[in-house]
Structures are given as structure tokens and as C-alpha cells.
Structure 1
Amino acid sequence: MKVCLVGSSGGHLTHLYMLKPFWQDKDRFWVTFDKEDARSILKNEDVYNCYFPTNRNIKNLIKNTALAFKVLKHEKPDVIISSGAAVAVPFFYIGKIFGAKTIYIEVFDRIDKPTLTGKLVYPITDKFIVQWEEMKKVYPKAINLGSIF
């Protein structure tokens, strides 16, 4: 199984890194910002740097959509996992075109309100995971797995 882990640096990247027991024995690659925390955490990993800022930035959305097409066509992951933020959107939509399964993990600090990224990928995500039972009111098809922390 080949896994694509995509997300912003900072807390979103930390969420994905905490899933190490799942991804450590898989063929994998990462898509994140070229920032110090990402370079440090992922120093021995295969990483594609995406464009930022991403939130409400149309120019970088277009660039990241082109990047998603190029990377996913080349890498052909079986599954794409993200905990946000906006860079997940083009990777999820392009990934679906290439036949990848998608798993989105809504961030821990959202207890009863959706993120913009969550709202955008919810309709096409194969497994949508929340970390609070209250979030199932927001995302009825979600699976509550509790805290990743």
C-alpha cells in the first residue's frame, strides 16, 4: 500500500506524524510546506513541498492543484490521508480522479464547528474521522475515533 500524507506544517503535520504506528511500515510520501518544522520532522522522508499560504489564496490553490496532478500521477498512491488544511483540497479531488481512497481527520480543536477544508472535502472523502462525538452532528457520516493525542 502506498500512502500520501498531505497537510500544512505545524499542528496539521503533527496530527499526521502522530499516526506513525500506521504509516511507518508503508511506502509513503508527504506533501507539506517547506518550513523549518516540516524539514526537521520529515528529514528522512520523501517530501513534496507545496505552495503557501493556502487559506483563501486562489493563486496558490491553482499552483497546488497543478502540483497535485503532477505528484499523484507520478506516485499513484492507494490512499491519501490529511488533517488539513487547505492543501488537502486539491490532493483529495485530484486523488479521486486517479482512484485513490481518501481519509480526512478533522482537527482536534474543532469540537462542534467544521473547518473550511473539512466542509470542502467531506462530500468526496471515503472515511471522514472526527475526534469528538459532538462533531457527528456536523458530519453525520463521520467516524469518531476519539483523540489522536
Structure 2
Amino acid sequence: MKVLAVASKGGHWVELLRLLPAFSGMEVVYVSTDSNLSATVEGSKFYSVPDANRWNKYKLIRIFIQLFDIVRREKPNFVISTGAAPGLMALMAAKILGIKTIWIDTIASAEKLSLSGRIALKFVDRLYTQWPDLSGPKIIYAGNILL
């Protein structure tokens, strides 16, 4: 089993690393926006992509192309992300390629899903929230995943 785990640097990356026990026995390939983060996952394959956001559409397109190539090359069984824009782009690429997708919305979004989470909700296979009040027909609350 191979997983591609994608998150921006900062809190999104910290949340992703808290999921490490769930990947036990799997090959994990990581992608983030800071090449220095490769030191936090020594022994695993790591890719660095530029950061982007909704205010720079050209950069989003550029990282989507890079992530599409990474997903196509790595052929993971599923792609998981805790956010933000690069994770969303990776999940879009995976979905186009017929690969299972999982979004875990940031623990900081207590009153509503993050913007990326609201976009991901439209196409991902699974979307998890950290908050029971946000759960619903398409939003899964399965306890405090990242605490």
C-alpha cells in the first residue's frame, strides 16, 4: 500500500505528521512547500513544490501540473491532505487519475470548513472534520484525529 501525503508548511504539515501512526506498514511519499521539511520524514521520499494560494492563479496552475506529474509517477493507492492549496491541487490530480482521495480539514476550522475543505467536499472520496458540529452527510467526524 502506497500513500501520497501532501500538506503546506506550518500547521498543515504538523497535522499531517500527527497521522504517521495511521501509515504504519505503508510506503509513504511526502509533498510539501518547504524542502527543509524533508528532514522531518527522513527515510521517506519527499517532493517540494512552490506554495500558492487563491490570489495567484498562475502559480496554482503551475503547482497543479507539478503535482499531477508526481501523482502519475508515484501511482499511490490514495492521496491524503490536511491542506492547504497544494494539498487541494494534489487531490484534484489524484481524482482525475482515478486514485482515492482523503481530505482532513484543519483543526483550526471550528465553526465552518476551511475554504480548501469546502472545495474538496465537492469531489473527494472522504472528508474528515475535527469538530462534531461540522459533521454531516458528506463530512465525517470520527473523533479527534489530530490531537
Q: How does the TM-score come out when normalised to structure 2?
A: 0.91
Q: Quick one: distance in 1 between partners of 2:137 and 2:55? A: 26
CA contact (8 A) 1:29 1:47 kept: yes
Aligned to 1:142: 139
CA contact (8 A) 1:76 1:98 kept: no
After superposition, the C-alpha distances for 1:84-119 in whole angstroms (9 at most, x for unaligned) are 001122211110121111111011111112211101
Report matched runs for 1:41-80 at 5 Å.
41-80=40-79
Q: Quick one: distance in 2 between partners of 1:53 and 1:72? A: 18
Indicate the SS of the match to 2:71. helix
Indicate the SS of the match to 1:5. strand
Q: Report how many residues are paired.
A: 146
CA contact (8 A) 2:3 2:80 kept: yes
CA gap 1:69/1:35 in 2 versus in 1, 3 angstroms: closer
After superposition, the C-alpha distances for 1:58-108 in whole angstroms (9 at most, x for unaligned) are 122011111112111111111000010011222111101211111110111
For structure 2, the residue ranges without an aligned partner over 5 or more in a row are: none
Q: Quick one: distance in 2 between partners of 1:72 and 1:35? A: 18
CA contact (8 A) 1:3 1:28 kept: yes
Q: How does the TM-score come out when normalised to structure 1?
A: 0.90
Q: Quick one: distance in 2 between partners of 1:33 and 1:93? A: 17
What displacement does 1:24 show?
Answer: 3.3
CA gap 1:100/1:128 in 2 versus in 1, 3 angstroms: same
Aligned-residue Cα RMSD (Å) equals: 1.5
For structure 1, the residue ranges without an aligned partner over 5 or more in a row are: none
Indicate the SS of the match to 2:44. coil
What displacement does 1:35 show?
Answer: 5.0
CA contact (8 A) 2:50 2:63 kept: yes
Q: Quick one: distance in 1 between partners of 2:6 and 2:55? A: 18
Paired-residue identity, %? 29
Which letter maps to 2:142? Answer: L
Q: Quick one: distance in 1 between partners of 2:80 and 2:95? A: 12
CA gap 1:61/1:2 in 2 versus in 1, 3 angstroms: same
1:31 is aligned to 2:37: no
Aligned to 1:87: 86
What displacement does 1:16 show?
Answer: 0.9
Q: Quick one: distance in 2 between partners of 1:40 and 1:94? A: 26
